[in-house]
């Protein structure tokens, strides 16, 4: 089975029910049956109709019949850091023969000469690594005639090409039902044992459709970069905790190098969106939806270390966050979205069981600001259709949550912050953990006062957040 032609048109996945991971608000996950997903033809159908071509696939070494994990790394002028990532993957794991890496070396047509030189050096390095303990395959999208067009180039397309090829290679082995495709980045080394830990989650009879690694940004030595890194990661973890408080099924970190998908999950989610930015966020949203009725797995024993560096390559992510801190000041991440919109969404979700009998009561109880947002989204007629189309309360609740997904929550929370102002992050954290009845987990930490960053205190709070 070979990857199909580039005659590809994006089609969003069909709506599927979500799993409840936040039980007190929308019902225990035990309330839902978890039938085995029988989609035997999903991978074949994806490869035939949606996968992007990899012309060099026929000339690559045949995949080992033991192959169960492929890590895909986009690389654009990353020669200096890529080697560190590849060496980290080989450390601490005993099942290297069951894994391989696909590096998609890419740039746009007529790139900056420095980028082209760096990428050509990367390709030369990959060709020289024939005796490495971990097989590494390079895809050349950086040579004239092979590079991406300016209209389509980006990290999303690079990930898509590599992950589509990974799906094809795993399908050839007959092991796709207990295998995995991992997203990584060329500046994000991993903790020892990464490969064995990922395989432990997916090499089983009923693996998850997707999972996320734990993460931690290494704090740079430069003081200004260190402050930016700590402020940005604290905000990331605050926002994830806010989603948890809201009762959202989308309360996961959206960091590309943390995402792992099973071949079936990747196919059902219609592959990685070939976007120039935010591809990881949108892919994760789709993976969560198609994973129903099961949640994504949290691989807390597996850790990725995304480099905290300044970058303006894309509009979202760590590099852009670091750039904002340096150009706008730390307040862009130390003054954060208030907890109130998360609480309003929690109330809305908690009122939904009553709404199964009729939405009027829910509409009446909805907080005014959230109600105005829902009106602007033209939500009520759609929610009424959802109510009529689902025969049980659990299915109705999950369908509404699928509509009020992570992207829509982000939009509402941002709108709320624009209209009502932002708050000191440590005040927000105390309130969120208070609402979650988990303030005891912070009781021994000293409260950082508003103003210049107290790095020692902030790093202690960040360390505690990483443990949760």
Distance CA 450, CA 9 (A): 49
Show the domains of the chain with their CATH numbers. 23-222+253-316 (3.90.550), 335-467 (no CATH)
Beta-carbon count within 10 A of 388 CB: 9
Beta-carbon count within 10 A of 423 CB: 18
Distance CA 46, CA 55 (A): 17
The pLDDT tens digits for 229-248 are 999 999 999 999 999 999 99
- Judge whether 303 and 190 are in contact, CB under 8 Å: yes
**pLDDT score, position 40:** 63
The pLDDT tens digits for 209-228 are 999 999 999 999 999 999 99
3-state SS record for 336-352: ECCCHHHHHHHHHHHHH
Element (H, E) at 99: strand 99-106
The pLDDT tens digits for 50-102 are 999 899 988 999 999 999 999 999 999 999 999 999 999 999 999 999 999 99
- Judge whether 284 and 13 are in contact, CB under 8 Å: no
The model's confidence at residue 319, banded by pLDDT at 50, 70 and 90, is confident
Query: In the predicted model, what is the mean pLDDT of residues 33-47?
Result: 67
């Amino acid at each position: 089975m070979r990857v199909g032609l580039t005659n590809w048109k994006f089609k969003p996945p069909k709506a599927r029910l979500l799993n409840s991971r936040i039980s007190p608000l929308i019902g225990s996950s035990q309330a839902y049956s978890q039938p085995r997903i029988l989609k035997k033809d999903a991978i074949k159908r994806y490869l035939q109709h949606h996968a992007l071509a990899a012309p060099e696939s026929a000339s690559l070494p045949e995949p080992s019949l033991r192959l169960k994990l492929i890590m895909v790394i986009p690389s654009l002028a990353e020669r200096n850091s890529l080697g560190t990532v590849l060496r980290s993957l080989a450390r601490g794991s005993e099942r290297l023969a069951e894994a391989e890496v696909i590096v998609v070396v890419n740039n746009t047509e007529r790139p900056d000469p420095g980028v082209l030189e760096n990428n050509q050096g990367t390709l030369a390095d990959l060709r020289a690594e024939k005796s490495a303990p971990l097989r590494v395959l390079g895809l050349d999208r950086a040579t004239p005639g092979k590079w991406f067009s300016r209209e389509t180039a980006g990290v999303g397309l690079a990930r898509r090409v590599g992950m589509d090829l990974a799906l094809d290679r795993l399908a050839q082995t007959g092991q796709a039902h207990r295998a995995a495709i991992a997203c990584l980045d060329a500046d994000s080394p991993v903790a020892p044992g990464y490969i064995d830990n990922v395989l432990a989650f997916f090499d089983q009879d009923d693996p998850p459709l997707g999972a996320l690694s734990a993460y931690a940004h290494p704090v740079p030595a430069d003081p200004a970069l260190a402050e930016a890194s700590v402020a940005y990661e604290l905000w990331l973890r605050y926002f994830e905790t806010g989603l948890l408080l809201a009762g959202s099924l989308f309360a996961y970190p959206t960091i590309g190098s943390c995402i792992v998908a099973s071949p079936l999950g990747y196919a059902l989610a219609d592959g990685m969106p070939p976007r120039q930015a935010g591809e990881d966020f949108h892919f994760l949203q789709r993976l969560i939806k198609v994973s129903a009725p099961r949640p994504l797995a949290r691989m807390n024993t597996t850790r990725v270390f995304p480099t905290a560096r300044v970058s303006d390559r894309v509009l979202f992510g760590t590099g852009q966050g670091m750039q904002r801190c340096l150009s706008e000041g730390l307040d862009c991440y130390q003054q954060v979205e208030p907890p109130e919109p998360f609480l309003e969404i929690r109330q809305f979700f908690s009122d939904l069981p009553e709404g199964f009998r009729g939405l009027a009561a829910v509409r009446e109880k909805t907080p005014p600001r959230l109600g105005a947002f829902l009106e602007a989204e033209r939500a009520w007629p759609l929610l009424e259709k959802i109510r009529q189309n689902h025969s049980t309360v659990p299915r109705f609740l999950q369908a509404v949550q699928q509509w009020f997904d992570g992207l829509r929550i982000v939009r509402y929370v941002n709108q709320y912050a624009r209209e009502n102002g932002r708050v000191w992050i440590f005040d927000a954290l105390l309130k969120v953990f208070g609402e979650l009845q988990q303030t005891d987990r912070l009781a021994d930490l000293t409260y950082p006062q508003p103003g210049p960053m107290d790095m020692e205190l902030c790093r202690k709070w960040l360390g505690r957040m990483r443990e949760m």
